[in-house]
């Protein structure tokens, strides 16, 4: 747990003001980049230990992802930091109007275990770029990666600038919040814990960004390219053994294409992971026994049509496809967050909509279709965070797109410039000259209603 004097040191550091300078920020971002690059092998080893991720998967989703975010931020920071001049309305003429982005202060970032590096360091980049002091709280369940990240932070930065905190979130976070006033909390994790943090932050009027989970549906329409759909869904669903917040949680396939889709998915799985996925370098493990036991519980909620083998000692669950799903069972009300994929058919859109509506505001939504009319229908009909057409999950790898949920799947957005905005306050300034000061602007106003109606419209 962070001691109170360590937290106060962050406030003192922030108050020195040097952190607001461009030179300081850019130097720190470059130091972070060098430290991550220098720890490449150490990070691969830690991520393998925690989640059995291959180096290639790490590069796409963890350290390479973070380096790409850093490169973009380093390139764009001076532009993002500039004050922006905007137009002035007639009422206030003559005047200048501008917006100054300024840091929030001392912010807390809390991350989960599934992408332990990405989900702690990607928001960190935004917080540093925007000029904040930061407390990082990693997940206790990805202990090896947490230790590697702690080492990077403590060897690279002064503790008054960035403080790394480990431990049981249910104890550590409330302790910090009770004793210290954060200027923002950026939380990634489950919806249940998100509610606890939201409530506690509300009592102190601390603004939050909540990056939560949920059940992300994947629609496969009658006119979809089924072979491509199968490959893209299998790739993203079974990456990190399905422990991905934006993985397709379940597939809703048009009844006319279900058989073909299932056949293609089976073929794809054997081409991706061979006859035994346990031996594949490209298939991960479940994080711990608690999650393993939870996931096995879903196997009774329908019929296994592919996979289902498992080994608790190795925390291995085979990529599994399921059919004849019991629609009221936990598999359809809880986020699966593992390598189990229910495949459900629909004939009319309303049937699929009724299923989606049971778990409102998915974090992500995917539609596979060859028609722009169907694409428009689905994109307009469902309220979700972000998504893809004819693909899945990859929207979050484009830092020009904002990433975040809505409602039950979260509040706020980040990545690229959106991260900078999340960790900044945009101060609005209207500057009036003194050389013109017409009396018409001052009381008494009697008889000026028509003039005011002309000016303010
Ligand atoms: P979790 O909510 O159990 O834990 C996340 C973090 O919160 C950990 O650091 C933990 O220590 C801390 N924590 C736990 N209890 C706390 C409490 N009472 N008060 C304050 N902090 C507390 O989540 P998890 O199991 O690590 O992650 C899985 C969930 O995260 C899934 O629901 C997944 O969809 C979601 N997720 C969302 C995103 C996203 O970007 N939206 C990304 C990854 C994971």
Whether 140 is in the pocket of ligand 1, judged by its Cβ within 6 Å, is: yes
- Encode pLDDT of 343-360 as tens digits: 999 999 999 999 999 999
pLDDT of res. 24: 97
Number of other CB atoms surrounding residue 149 within 10 Å = 27
Whether 188 is in the pocket of ligand 1, judged by its Cβ within 6 Å, is: yes
245 is catalytic: yes
The pick from 62, 171, 189, 365 for probing ligand 1's pocket by mutation, whose C-beta has the most ligand atoms within 8 angstroms, reads: 189
For range 277-301, the mean pLDDT:
98
Band (222; pLDDT cuts 50, 70, 90): very high
For range 6-19, the mean pLDDT:
95
Paired tokens of 208: 């939050």
Task: Specify the range with the lowest mean pLDDT, choosing from 14-18, 128-132, 364-368.
Answer: 14-18
For range 139-161, the mean pLDDT:
97
Residue whose CA lies nearest to ligand 1 atom number 12: 169
For range 191-200, the mean pLDDT:
97
Please give the number of the atom of ligand 1 that sits closest to the Cα of 191. Answer: 32
Paired tokens of 150: 């702690």
pLDDT of res. 3: 82
For range 272-297, the mean pLDDT:
97
Q: Which candidate, 218, 215, 260, 269, places its Cα nearest to that of 390?
A: 218
Paired tokens of 343: 């495949």
Distances (CA, A) of 204 to 34, 102, 208, 412: 37, 21, 11, 19
User: Is pLDDT of 4 > 90?
Assistant: no
Please give the number of the atom of ligand 1 that sits closest to the Cα of 167. Answer: 11
pLDDT of res. 159: 87
Q: Ligand 1 mean position to 188 CA, how many Å? A: 5
Burial 276-290 (b: 16+ CB within 10 A, else e): ebeebebbbbbbeee
Average pLDDT taken over every residue of the chain? 97
For range 291-317, the mean pLDDT:
98
Whether 165 is in the pocket of ligand 1, judged by its Cβ within 6 Å, is: no
Q: Which of 57, 69, 166, 211 is catalytic?
A: 211
User: Is pLDDT of 94 > 90?
Assistant: yes
What pTM did the predictor assign? 0.96
Whether 315 is in the pocket of ligand 1, judged by its Cβ within 6 Å, is: no
Number of other CB atoms surrounding residue 452 within 10 Å = 12
pLDDT of res. 1: 65
Please give the number of the atom of ligand 1 that sits closest to the Cα of 138. Answer: 9
Q: Ligand 1 mean position to 404 CA, how many Å? A: 15
Q: Which of 69, 245, 335, 388 is catalytic?
A: 245
Distance CA 262, CA 269 (A): 11
User: Is pLDDT of 107 > 90?
Assistant: yes
Please give the number of the atom of ligand 1 that sits closest to the Cα of 404. Answer: 41
211 is catalytic: yes
For range 137-150, the mean pLDDT:
98
CA angle 403, 209, 418 (to 5 degrees): 40
Residue whose CA lies nearest to ligand 1 atom number 16: 170
Strands 96-103 and 424-431 turn out to be antiparallel
CA angle 179, 180, 185 (to 5 degrees): 125
- Encode pLDDT of 20-49 as tens digits: 999 999 999 999 999 999 999 999 999 999
């Amino acid at each position: 747990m962070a001691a109170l004097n360590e937290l106060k040191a962050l406030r003192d550091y922030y108050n020195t003001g040097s952190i607001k300078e461009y030179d300081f920020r850019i130097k720190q971002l470059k130091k972070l980049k060098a430290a991550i690059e220098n720890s490449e092998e150490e990070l691969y080893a830690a991520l393998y230990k925690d989640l059995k991720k291959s180096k290639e998967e790490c590069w796409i989703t963890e350290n390479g992802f973070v380096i790409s975010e850093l490169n973009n931020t380093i390139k764009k920071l001076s532009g993002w930091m500039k004050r922006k001049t905007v137009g002035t309305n007639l009422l206030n003429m003559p005047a200048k109007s501008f917006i100054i982005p300024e840091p929030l202060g001392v912010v807390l970032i809390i991350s989960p275990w599934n992408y332990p590096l990405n989900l702690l360091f990607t928001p960190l980049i935004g917080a540093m770029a925007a000029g904040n002091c930061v407390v990082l709280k990693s997940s206790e369940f990805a202990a090896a990666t947490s230790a590697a990240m702690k080492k990077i932070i403590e060897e690279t930065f002064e503790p008054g600038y960035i403080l790394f905190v480990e431990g049981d979130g249910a104890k550590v976070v409330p302790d910090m919040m009770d004793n210290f006033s954060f200027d923002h909390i950026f939380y990634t994790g489950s919806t249940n814990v998100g509610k606890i943090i939201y409530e506690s932050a509300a009592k102190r009027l601390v603004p939050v960004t909540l990056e939560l989970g949920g059940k992300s549906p994947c629609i496969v329409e009658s006119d979809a390219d089924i072979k491509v759909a199968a490959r893209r869904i299998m790739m993203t669903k079974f990456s990190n053994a399905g422990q991905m917040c934006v993985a397709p949680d379940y597939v809703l396939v048009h009844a006319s294409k279900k058989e073909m889709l299932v056949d293609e998915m089976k073929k794809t799985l054997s081409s991706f992971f061979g006859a035994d996925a346990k031996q594949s370098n490209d298939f991960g493990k479940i994080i711990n026994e608690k999650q393993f036991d939870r996931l096995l519980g879903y196997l009774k909620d329908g019929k296994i049509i592919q996979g289902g083998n498992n080994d608790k000692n190795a925390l291995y669950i085979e990529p599994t496809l399921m059919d004849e799903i019991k629609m009221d069972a936990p598999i359809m009300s809880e986020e699966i967050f593992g390598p189990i994929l229910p495949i459900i058919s629909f004939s009319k859109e309303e049937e699929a909509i009724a299923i989606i509506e049971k778990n409102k505001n998915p974090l992500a939504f995917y539609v596979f279709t060859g028609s722009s009319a169907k694409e428009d229908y689905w994109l307009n009909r469902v309220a979700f965070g972000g998504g893809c057409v004819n693909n899945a999950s990859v929207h979050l790898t484009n830092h020009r797109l904002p990433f975040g949920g809505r409602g039950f799947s979260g509040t706020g957005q980040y990545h690229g410039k959106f991260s900078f905005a999340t960790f900044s306050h945009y101060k609005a300034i209207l500057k009036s000259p003194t050389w013109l000061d017409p009396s018409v602007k001052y009381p008494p106003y009697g008889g000026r209603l028509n003039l005011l109606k002309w000016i303010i419209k």
